[in-house]
């Protein structure tokens, strides 16, 4: 970090006390930007502005559970940066959600969205609501209450939320229904991740997982290799993990392990997606049920973490800081060649150091998981033109976008004398475009 950036970083720490995840996300970007700041000192002031969200909304979400008891949760929407387009980013419903988490996600989203090359700014939101064990009607009442406040802040040209952890098609449906009812507008472009019958896009559910695998496929191709015959670990078993597994299998690799908050499963023959979807999407149950249904030599991992299992490629697709220094050392010891982040910031800074030091190819989430939000932007395009595209065409657009994100990272890393460092490439390329737009728009 340059001295001037260190000054900005100190202000960030002082102004945002008690927000370790946000500090981590800012530090990770700043660590990459020294060569840019030396070339363009005018960007330092822009960075100071970029670290301060344009607007932060925190609100009470009251709702009634199935026993008639009133429950209170906290809702958030951090509208971080709209230099390139309307704020865009998901909503996360998870008990760990707080302002620090939403700000780290919103900050990352600015650069990720910039890398897609599509006209979307950065934002993020969510709630500390825990959907686990809640009935369908409780989920609906919560979503309706959440939207009863949020609707006044969002809009097709203002802020376009989507899903993230704990928010999938069901939740987007309830949120969209309530928005439509309150505003009396069928404003399809106000949310993405909608169902196909009511304004959604083909490939949106698959996009984050598929996109991460496309990104890693580009890295493999650059070395003259492919997924064919590779053993792959995918952490998580939600939306991102599920479709990462599907695409790895389509490209000839074998996903031999995945996980959830209760542990991990090893399935040397390759994770069976029909069974995984039945357990996770239909039953909303734990992975132990996967083992019961699949049988066939499948094991529930008990010692250490999923990352101790020998494999060629690791795709952390669960949550932030899930892959630590010990995990990274285990991956290196077992000869892992590439780590590709399907989740947001899943690798700790210490783990990244270990991986990069050992020459493991590293695809940062900002770039590797940009496929989800990119396909959201494609959904917005279809909504704006009242059109809907085929699965094949949309997947081809996604694949092209991921190749372009990959190439930008590689080329920018080379341009700034960090060949092969895709973290530097992603941070610099994402930053420069937003910074130039902010300079052009004046001090606002």
Q: Is 88 in the site for ligand GLU (CB under 6 A)?
A: yes
Residue nearest to ligand GLU (CB): 90
Alpha-carbon distances of 433 from 318, 323, 327, 438, rounded to whole Å: 29, 30, 34, 9
Q: Is 127 in the site for ligand GLU (CB under 6 A)?
A: no
Which residue number, 144 or 344, has a Cβ lying nearer to ligand GLU?
A: 344
Distance CA 200, CA 169 (A): 10
Distance CA 126, CA 92 (A): 4
Q: Is 124 one of the catalytic residues? A: yes
Helix or strand holding residue 44 (H, E): helix 43-50
Which residue number, 211 or 253, has a Cβ lying nearer to ligand GLU?
A: 211
CA 96 to chain CA centroid, Å, is 16
Facing residues of 254 across strands? 231
Q: Is the distance from CB of 120 to CB of 139 less than 8 angstroms?
A: no
Binding window for ligand GLU (CB under 6 A); candidates: 35-43, 51-59, 85-93, 248-256: 85-93
CA angle (434, 339, 368) in 5-degree steps: 30
Which residue number, 15 or 157, has a Cβ lying nearer to ligand GLU?
A: 157
Which residue number, 237 or 344, has a Cβ lying nearer to ligand GLU?
A: 344
Which residue number, 129 or 290, has a Cβ lying nearer to ligand GLU?
A: 129
Which of 162, 368, 402, 413: binder of ligand GLU (CB under 6 A)? 162
CB of 329 to ligand GLU, least distance (A): 28
Binding window for ligand GLU (CB under 6 A); candidates: 14-22, 29-37, 370-378, 385-393: 370-378
Q: Is 189 in the site for ligand GLU (CB under 6 A)?
A: no
Facing residues of 36 across strands? none
Q: Is 90 in the site for ligand GLU (CB under 6 A)?
A: yes
Per-residue x/- track, 375-414, ligand GLU (CB under 6 A): -x--------------------------------------
Distance CA 84, CA 430 (A): 11
β 254-260/263-266 pair status: antiparallel
Binding window for ligand GLU (CB under 6 A); candidates: 25-33, 62-70, 243-251, 368-376: 368-376
Dig out the tokens for 197 from the structure.
């019958």
DSSP string, 99-143: HHHHHHHHHHHHHHHHHTTSS--EEEEEES---TT--HHHHHHHH
Which of 138, 159, 164, 341: binder of ligand GLU (CB under 6 A)? 164
Q: Is 373 in the site for ligand GLU (CB under 6 A)?
A: yes
Q: Which residues bind ligand GLU (CB under 6 A)?
A: 88-90, 162, 164, 192, 344, 372-373, 376
């Amino acid at each position: 970090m340059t001295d001037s950036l260190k000054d900005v970083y100190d202000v960030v720490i002082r102004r945002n006390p008690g927000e370790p995840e946000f500090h981590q996300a800012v530090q990770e970007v700043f660590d990459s930007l020294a060569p840019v700041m030396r070339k363009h000192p005018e960007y330092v002031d822009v960075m100071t502005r970029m670290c301060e969200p344009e607007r932060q909304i925190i609100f009470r979400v009251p709702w009634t559970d199935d026993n008639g008891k009133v429950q209170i949760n906290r809702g958030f929407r951090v509208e971080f940066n709209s230099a390139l387009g309307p704020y865009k980013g998901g909503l996360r419903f998870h008990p760990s959600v707080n302002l620090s988490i939403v700000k780290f996600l919103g900050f990352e989203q600015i650069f990720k969205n910039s890398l897609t090359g599509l006209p979307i700014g950065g934002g993020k939101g969510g709630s500390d609501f825990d959907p686990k064990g809640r009935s369908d009607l409780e989920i609906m009442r919560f979503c309706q209450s959440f939207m009863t406040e949020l609707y006044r802040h969002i809009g097709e040209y203002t802020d376009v939320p989507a899903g993230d952890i704990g928010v999938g098609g069901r939740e987007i449906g309830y949120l969209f229904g309530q928005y439509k009812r309150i505003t009396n507008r069928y404003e399809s472009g106000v949310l993405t991740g909608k169902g196909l019958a009511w304004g959604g896009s083909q490939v949106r559910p698959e996009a984050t997982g598929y996109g991460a695998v496309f990104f890693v496929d580009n890295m493999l191709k650059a070395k003259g290799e492919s997924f064919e015959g590779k053993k792959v670990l995918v952490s998580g078993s939600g939306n991102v993990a599920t479709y990462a597994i599907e695409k790895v299998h389509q490209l000839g690799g074998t996903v031999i392990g995945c996980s959830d908050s209760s542990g991990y499963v090893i399935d040397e023959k390759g994770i069976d997606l029909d069974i995984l979807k039945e357990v996770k999407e239909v039953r909303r149950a734990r992975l132990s049920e996967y083992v019961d249904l699949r049988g066939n030599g499948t094991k529930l991992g008990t010692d250490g973490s999923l990352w101790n299992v020998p494999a060629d490629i690791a795709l952390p697709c669960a949550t932030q800081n899930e892959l630590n220094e010990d995990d990274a050392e285990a991956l290196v010891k077992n000869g892992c060649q590439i780590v590709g982040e399907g989740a947001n910031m899943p690798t700790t800074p210490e783990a990244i150091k270990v991986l990069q030091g050992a020459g493991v190819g590293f695809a940062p989430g900002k770039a590797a998981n940009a496929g989800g939000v990119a396909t959201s932007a494609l959904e917005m395009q279809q909504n704006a033109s009242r059109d809907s595209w085929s699965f094949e065409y949309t997947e081809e657009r996604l694949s092209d976008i991921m190749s372009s994100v990959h190439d930008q990272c590689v080329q920018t890393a080379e341009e700034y004398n960090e060949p092969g460092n895709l973290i530097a490439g992603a941070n610099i390329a994402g930053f420069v475009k937003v910074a130039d737009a902010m300079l052009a728009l004046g001090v606002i």
